[in-house]
Structure 1
Amino acid sequence: MKLHITNGDSVVGTLQDSFPGDTILPWRDVLHDGPVPAGRPLSEFSAVRAHFLAAESGLPYAQVLSEFQERDGLLARYAEFDETVLWFEHDLYDQLQLIQILDWFATQAADAPNLRLIQADDYLGRMEPAHFTELYPARQAVSAAQLSLASAAWLAVRSADPAELEPLLVPNTELPFLAAALTRLCEEYPWTTDGLSRTQRTIRELKNQGITDRADLFTAFTRQEEAIWMGDWSFFRVLDGEPPRGTGWQWNATLRRFESHPS
């Protein structure tokens, strides 16, 4: 029996249909929103995430924490399975989940010889079951280089200094979608040109075109993204006034680097 880990509930049913009898683990977290503290083991990190998501969603903290604990507990049992297969897409939402999971496995590497990865350049939630069975034979063993890169990227994402992301914006062969995804993350910091994030700027442009309905704004925003990564919940947080990421830093899109500024 195999353990399949993927980006969320939209894929669970199709994977279950494609691989009956296997166990499917959806990695439910929007890591591009809210705190991602460094130096915490997974249990403590999940508790921080549960606090944030409970406060934002209005769900009871105990309920959200219990879901994280169940998820993390199943992950910790990976050695009980013949193989662990990671299914993740090219967009920012997925790439952050992927590097978090690979970083965790980097601490288990000696005991995880059957870890496999499928990096999809299309949206898994839209695929038919037959496509999953076609992709499965192309899965590859996770390499030491991939684990090392993921750990470096996950450390940079959680750093108080976003300039640590800059070396990771160069395309690589190990995790080919990572550089573009992290560049998109950088674009959510205030820009040196106007102090707005890319999402805020896009919303302003769409409103200037006469689009005012919230759902229509989200649809139009999604159409302008190279890779769809933001769900409606995250989008509406920005629409309702959520400030850009971080304090004390701005993103210079022309130079593709961060610059400090007074908080």
Structure 2
Amino acid sequence: MGSLLHITNGDNFTKKLKSLKLSGDIITWREMLCEGKTENNVGSESFWKTRFEFLNKNYKVSKSTFINKTLKEYRSLCNHKKEDQIVLWFEYDLFCQVNLLAVISWLKTHRKYAEISLVCSGKEDSSDTLFGLNELTDEQLRSKFENKVILTQDDIEYADYVWQLYCSDNPIRLENLTDFKNYQFKYLEKSIQSHLHRFPSIKNGLNEMETNILKQAIDKKPQSKTEFLQVLLKNQGILGFSDSQFQRALVRLKPLFTSFNPVRLSQKGKLILKGDTSYYSCIQQNDVYLGGALKYNFLFNSDTNKILKL
């Protein structure tokens, strides 16, 4: 057995993986590439400059935090050149799947000699529940590690190809992907569909997540913003977002609420939820990116499941 390197999806799981005492070093991939502009040349100076600008503007991430958290860990990855086996630990959701594509794209360029394998959590039993890595027992994680999927060169090329499409300025190219089942990424197709649903709907100008926020406000009648955020985290489908992403969405949608304590929609919010009017012209911003595409240059038609370019 050669030397091992583990790349994980976040700090919480890194702690859990350390407790398993598997051989090999661990690198944490500290990014959220499902949000904000991305560039296809992962790890380049322009890539990190673009990412810092987004995180600084939208999440108030300071330069020192970005350097000490994200870039320090990335440089550690760059310095791990001797390992000939690299194990990727990621989950089923959009957040993880986009990061996974980026990591594989980087490995394709910089670690051609390494055997790359994948441990991906999701459907773990006969129920419809999808599980994150932190929800699995030590025994389940060890079993998944023993049964990790070795990625073929075709798998690696395909992940890199999907990453290039994700970073392109036209999401219609992603929409035309049909051959997911030929590769070892069983949660990627649903994640890409979920990504396409993040473009504004032709019906009300909100995307699927934003419309769901209004729906949960009506259905669950939360009595406080804190309770509302818990509801949204629990009912988000396969986005894999944290409360910080929902906090940011609530700032965008604030004019559609009369109150957050308790949570109440305005009359306009109710009309938009019904599809009787559109919020497109009110929410439209010229600098919001999903991958490489401008969010408000496209509309999603839920009747045909197609993206339209404006």
Q: Tell me if TM exceeds 0.5.
A: yes
**2:234 matched to 1:185?**
no
Name the aligned partner's letter for residue 207 of structure 1.
A
What are the equivalent positions in structure 2 for 1:71-220 lying under 5 Å apart? 71-108=73-110, 110-112=112-114, 114-121=115-122, 122-168=131-177, 171-174=180-183, 175-209=185-219, 210-211=221-222, 213-220=224-231
Report the TM-score when normalising by structure 2. 0.77
**2:249 matched to 1:238?**
yes
In 2 relative to 1, CA 65–44 (structure 1 residues): closer, same or farther, beyond 3 Å? farther
Name the aligned partner's letter for residue 241 of structure 1.
R
In 2 relative to 1, CA 126–37 (structure 1 residues): closer, same or farther, beyond 3 Å? same
The structure whose RCO (Cα within 8 Å, separation 6+) is larger is 2
3-state SS, counterpart of residue 117 of structure 2 = strand
* Residues 10-54 of structure 1: per-residue CA shift (max 9 Å, x gap): 101110011255322111111121111345653431232123223
Name the aligned partner's letter for residue 189 of structure 1.
F
State the match for 1:256 in structure 2. Answer: 305
* Contact 1:169-1:180 within 8 A present in 2 as well: no
State the match for 1:67 in structure 2. Answer: 69
* Residues 83-122 of structure 1: per-residue CA shift (max 9 Å, x gap): 211011111011001100111122235322x222112212
Q: What is the distance in 2 between the residues matched to 1:120 and 1:47? A: 31
Moved more, 10-19 or 77-86: 77-86
Q: Among 12, 15, 32, which residue is 2:14 paired with? A: 12
3-state SS, counterpart of residue 37 of structure 2 = coil
Q: What is the distance in 2 between the residues matched to 1:251 and 1:44? A: 30
Q: What is the distance in 1 between the residues matched to 2:78 and 2:41? A: 19
TM-fit CA distance, 1:138? 0.7
Report the TM-score when normalising by structure 1. 0.89
Q: What is the distance in 1 between the residues matched to 2:242 and 2:178? A: 23
* Residues 159-181 of structure 1: per-residue CA shift (max 9 Å, x gap): 11111111236642411111100
* Cα RMSD after superposing both structures: 2.2
3-state SS, counterpart of residue 70 of structure 1 = helix
Name the aligned partner's letter for residue 194 of structure 1.
N
Moved more, 34-43 or 171-180: 34-43
In 2 relative to 1, CA 218–138 (structure 1 residues): closer, same or farther, beyond 3 Å? same
TM-fit CA distance, 1:247? 2.2
In 2 relative to 1, CA 167–109 (structure 1 residues): closer, same or farther, beyond 3 Å? farther
* Contact 1:46-1:68 within 8 A present in 2 as well: no
State the match for 2:55 in structure 1. Answer: 53
Moved more, 50-59 or 28-37: 50-59
Give the structure with higher Rg (CA). 2
3-state SS, counterpart of residue 177 of structure 2 = helix
In 2 relative to 1, CA 229–170 (structure 1 residues): closer, same or farther, beyond 3 Å? farther
Name the aligned partner's letter for residue 117 of structure 1.
L
TM-fit CA distance, 1:152? 1.4
* Contact 1:2-1:85 within 8 A present in 2 as well: yes
